[in-house]
Structure 1
Amino acid sequence: MSAELAPSSMGRDGQGGGGLSLAVASDSAWADVDGGMEDPEEIRVIFCALDSFSQYAKVAHFNVTHLRRRSFYALPQAHWQLLAAPPFNFLDTLDKADAAIDSNAVLARAILKSGLASFSSFSSPTAAAATTTTTTSSSPPHPPPSSSAADVAMPYEWAGIAKFSDIDKARSTIRQFYRDWSAAGAAERAASYGPVLAALEQEAALREAAHHDNPTTTPSTAAPPPTNNGDAAPSAPAAAPSDPRLKVLVPGAGLGRLVFELCLAGHHAEGNEISYHQLLASSYILNDCPAADHHAIYPWIHTFSNHLLRDHHLRAYPVPDVHPATALAAAAASSPRGAGSMAMCAADFLCLYADAAHADAYDAVASVFFLDTAPNLLRYLEVLFHCLRPGGLLVNLGPLLWHFENNAPGNHGHDDDGDGEHDLNSSSGIADPGSFELSNDEVLALVEKVGFVVERMETGIDAPYIQDRESMLQTVYKATFWVARKPLSASVDQSA
């Protein structure tokens, strides 16, 4: 198995057996970890994320149990005494909720400790950086971090920096471990990742067949014949190089499970993620978590609504369901294709992958619950077209819950001179001005306008997202799944 750990980065390097890698983009936040990051705002954002994991337990105890105890004792005495006794035992329930929060906090502190080790050079920020921060806590400074995960604390200069929105993201990230790294989340992963992995496996088989038949030539440029259902049959992949495995980009990689699964299948997978909460958490689970089932999380503990049984509310799930390094070492030893390689880039997708260095760089893009994060979908598609090799695949699955729809119209970004013209070479990425929302048929039309050829499309795929299957409230996306190919004749100039 290949390991390309950048020493200045938060590596995805499993302990012991196998190696994972975190490739660092030159303009990404991780690139300057050892050399000294120069942007005080970037440092502040990182430590906001770190501090949010530090504050998780305190805030969760206050919001989930402390306020409920106050409300409980505000009831008429006869009422709260009735509810405190069997069969309700409401005070016991609150005690169990506190214990569940403490269990979640063990994971939060482990993420914090792992992250602080990666950013130890910033434990004493410069005066200029420190003056850019505002605290949300009047607590006295914390002591320096200890070597114990149970006692790890933020450096005092950064303690209390997290905003309420940061702490909410930490809570959401802990819940997401249910989807990506628990055995119980396997059904969700099968629904969302399964079709994508199957499509890429089909592409890899075509690539391997092309390499086996004639390893010195590239596939034919002839158009594929139509299939019985009217869709275009899958054409040959981009090339048949000496290594028949696919180089796959996963934008919006989150907690890294899809990147891990692609690597496990023998591909060269590169994830991209802009959220430091997700990056810190995925780095811990892939790098530093010592064993499978090492943590117990309680993803449903933060809300008391729609529970059929109290046991459902208080249910724990072991994470991770696999130890990544052990699984990859086993794949490297036993799989005919072997384990692939993993990398992770921490950067704005639009800023990083639009550059010349990423032109025609990937055999495939695996887009899962990603396209609807775009304020400007056209920019996303242009960059995806740009970074795919001619003949490369864009494989997409997800809903269209446009993330910027609730912004006031015209309130995303700004146009300084009002002419609607923006220099893409100096783009600020996802923060660029303008936004719009399309229906699914319009999305597919836009995909083709950019230059892709849509080969297949399915709708109505049940795709739950962090769903409590025992809850009285069930929300399931009816996702769309489609595969589009960049024509073999396409040039990079088409995406300009």
Structure 2
Amino acid sequence: MEEEYDPTTDPQEKTLILSVLDSFRSYRRLAHLHGTHRRRQAFYSLPQAHWTLLSQPPFTLLSTFSQMDTLIDLNAELAEAIFIAGFKLFLAPTLDSEWVASIVPEKYAHDEMHIFSLVLDRLGAEASPNDVDKARSCLNQFYREWSADGVVERAKCFDPVLAALEDEFLARSHQGGGPAADRSQIKVLVPGVGLGRLVFDVCRAGFSVEGNEISYHMLMASALVLNETSKAAQFRIAPFALNGSNLVARDDQFRTFFVPDVHPATELAKEGVSRVPASERLSMSTGDFCVVYGRSDYAGVFDAVATVFFIDTAPNLIRYIEAVRNCLRPGGMWINLGPLLWHPPPRRENDADEDEEERKRRVERDAGIGDPGSVELTNEEVVALVQHFGFDMEKQEHGTIETGYISNSRSMLQNSYWPSFWVARRK
């Protein structure tokens, strides 16, 4: 493979990494500001007789705000743990240790949170509003991927993928009537891996798996849960604490959940269904899926590609299809499950002022999901496009799976997806 790209050598990427780190570091402060301080301000803007009434039982809204503050602090413990893990992963290796020592007071010499925070301040880190939103969403996603209650959503989305991989293994095991091969011989790629649960589950099932992710929020959070946690139930989160709408009872807002539901390192160290240790079967890559896996050195590397709630992140789906086709061996399978919630890229304000050479340079620089242009396709059109690029559809289902996405099962508002599920074989 090509030498791994170091994002901190790119000034724009380093600025982004600093913004993401600051979004986790500042979660506690901003959540208190937007979550309770402003609610209190609005509450006391009511006529005095009204807020006095609502301060008393059975309403006790002032107590509600205090409980929200307590739960924000719970969430912040996870956010700050992600900040520390992300700092160690992406920023610490690039820093001069003597410079760090010169700016850290001796009383903080053994306090990682203070040390890393001082460094971030010196480097001028400032989280963008978009990164702040992503950090909050990332914390909530722990409920879906790493809580015991999240198994309801995980089972709907991950079990069909694991079943398809199991069917593939059994089919290969019986080819030629020989002994069953080891599951590790089936190499699986999971793009858009998020917090890493599907990669973990595929590895635990005995297969070799590589996860790919472009989001620094997700990369930092998955690094924490997969590599840095010391036990199951290490953190407690309240994913619905800041949402005051569509509630039947206040307790529904304040439910808490322990994460992770299992300790990944302990689980993967157990003797499993593969003769190959899990440490040799699981890896992660950073970067744009199209750029990384469209390269010639990845041609025909994988036996299966599993995309879950992923393909609709593509402005131009053809780029994804080309990358999948490139990295799959002939006869390899593409397992897909997800909706089609397309996200067109933002309008480029300066497009009209670009000359042809500037446009060419931008297109080359943005290769991957940053390419200009986008298209929104129906499920039928997606299937036709996949077939056009040399895949045979072996299985197609629609309307058979219903799932939420980080859903509060006790909310008055229930959003459901009916995702498409298909298995395609590369010719």
Q: Same fold (TM over 0.5)?
A: yes
Give the match for residue 3 of structure 1.
none
SS in 2 for 1:430: coil
Give the match for residue 100 of structure 2.
none
On the 8 A contact 2:173/2:181 being kept in 1, the answer is no
Cα distance between partner residues in 2 of 1:117 and 1:452: 42
On the 8 A contact 2:183/2:274 being kept in 1, the answer is no
Q: Which runs of 5+ in 2 are unaligned?
A: 98-102
Deviation at 1:303, TM superposition (A): 1.4
Deviation at 1:438, TM superposition (A): 0.5
Deviation at 1:337, TM superposition (A): 5.2
Cα distance between partner residues in 2 of 1:166 and 1:395: 31
Q: 2:93 aligns with which of 104, 121, 124?
A: 121
Q: 2:166 aligns with which of 184, 196, 201?
A: 201
SS in 1 for 2:419: strand
On the 8 A contact 1:248/1:267 being kept in 2, the answer is yes
Q: Answer 1 or 2: higher relative contact order, Cα 8 Å, separation at least 6.
A: 1
Cα distance between partner residues in 2 of 1:342 and 1:322: 17
Q: 2:223 aligns with which of 270, 283, 286?
A: 283
Q: 2:376 aligns with which of 413, 433, 437?
A: 437
On the 8 A contact 2:183/2:208 being kept in 1, the answer is no
TM-score (norm 2): 0.90
Q: 2:393 aligns with which of 431, 444, 454?
A: 454
1:63 aligned to 2:34?
A: yes
Give the match for residue 292 of structure 2.
352
Give the match for residue 134 of structure 1.
none
Q: 1:178 aligns with which of 143, 147, 157?
A: 143
Deviation at 1:120, TM superposition (A): 1.2
SS in 2 for 1:286: helix
Deviation at 1:157, TM superposition (A): 1.8
Give the match for residue 3 of structure 2.
26
- Give matches, 1:95-494, under 5 Å: 95-118=66-89, 119-123=91-95, 147-148=110-111, 153-154=116-117, 155=119, 156-158=121-123, 160-210=125-175, 213-214=177-178, 245-330=185-270, 333-335=271-273, 340=278, 341-404=281-344, 407-408=346-347, 417=356, 428-460=367-399, 461-487=401-427
Counterpart residue identity of residue 273, structure 2: S
* Sequence identity (%): 45
CA displacement, residues 301-342 of structure 1 (integer Å, 9 cap, x when unaligned): 121111111001011000000000111112xx2436565411
Cα distance between partner residues in 2 of 1:412 and 1:265: 48
Deviation at 1:121, TM superposition (A): 3.5
Cα distance between partner residues in 1 of 2:352 and 2:395: 35
Cα distance between partner residues in 2 of 1:52 and 1:419: 33
Give the match for residue 90 of structure 1.
61
Cα distance between partner residues in 2 of 1:422 and 1:453: 36
Counterpart residue identity of residue 61, structure 2: F
Counterpart residue identity of residue 455, structure 1: E
Cα distance between partner residues in 2 of 1:410 and 1:441: 33
With over 3 angstroms needed to count, the CA separation of the structure-2 counterparts of 1:183 and 1:297, relative to structure 1, is same
With over 3 angstroms needed to count, the CA separation of the structure-2 counterparts of 1:189 and 1:411, relative to structure 1, is farther
Cα distance between partner residues in 2 of 1:148 and 1:426: 40
SS in 2 for 1:378: helix
CA displacement, residues 452-495 of structure 1 (integer Å, 9 cap, x when unaligned): 000110001212111111111000111000000001xxxxxxxx
Cα distance between partner residues in 2 of 1:309 and 1:25: 55
Deviation at 1:64, TM superposition (A): 0.7
TM-score (norm 1): 0.78
With over 3 angstroms needed to count, the CA separation of the structure-2 counterparts of 1:288 and 1:164, relative to structure 1, is same
CA displacement, residues 26-49 of structure 1 (integer Å, 9 cap, x when unaligned): 34346xxxxxx4212221111111
Counterpart residue identity of residue 371, structure 2: D
Give the match for residue 493 of structure 1.
none
Moved more, 56-65 or 426-435: 426-435
Q: 1:45 aligns with which of 4, 11, 16?
A: 16
SS in 2 for 1:193: helix
SS in 1 for 2:248: coil
Cα distance between partner residues in 2 of 1:51 and 1:82: 40
Q: Which has the higher helix share?
A: 2
Q: Which runs of 5+ in 1 are unaligned?
A: 1-23, 31-36, 126-140, 216-239, 488-496
On the 8 A contact 1:360/1:389 being kept in 2, the answer is yes
Counterpart residue identity of residue 373, structure 1: T
Cα distance between partner residues in 1 of 2:140 and 2:2: 29
With over 3 angstroms needed to count, the CA separation of the structure-2 counterparts of 1:284 and 1:242, relative to structure 1, is closer
With over 3 angstroms needed to count, the CA separation of the structure-2 counterparts of 1:242 and 1:260, relative to structure 1, is closer
1:81 aligned to 2:52?
A: yes
Cα distance between partner residues in 2 of 1:44 and 1:355: 27
Cα distance between partner residues in 1 of 2:57 and 2:22: 39
Deviation at 1:244, TM superposition (A): 5.8
With over 3 angstroms needed to count, the CA separation of the structure-2 counterparts of 1:277 and 1:409, relative to structure 1, is closer
How much is the aligned-residue C-alpha RMSD, in angstroms? 2.9
With over 3 angstroms needed to count, the CA separation of the structure-2 counterparts of 1:421 and 1:105, relative to structure 1, is closer
On the 8 A contact 2:182/2:274 being kept in 1, the answer is no
Cα distance between partner residues in 1 of 2:284 and 2:320: 19
Cα distance between partner residues in 2 of 1:401 and 1:142: 46
With over 3 angstroms needed to count, the CA separation of the structure-2 counterparts of 1:262 and 1:419, relative to structure 1, is same
Cα distance between partner residues in 1 of 2:411 and 2:330: 46
On the 8 A contact 1:368/1:396 being kept in 2, the answer is yes
Deviation at 1:417, TM superposition (A): 2.8
CA displacement, residues 408-456 of structure 1 (integer Å, 9 cap, x when unaligned): 5999999853999899987621111111111000000000001100011
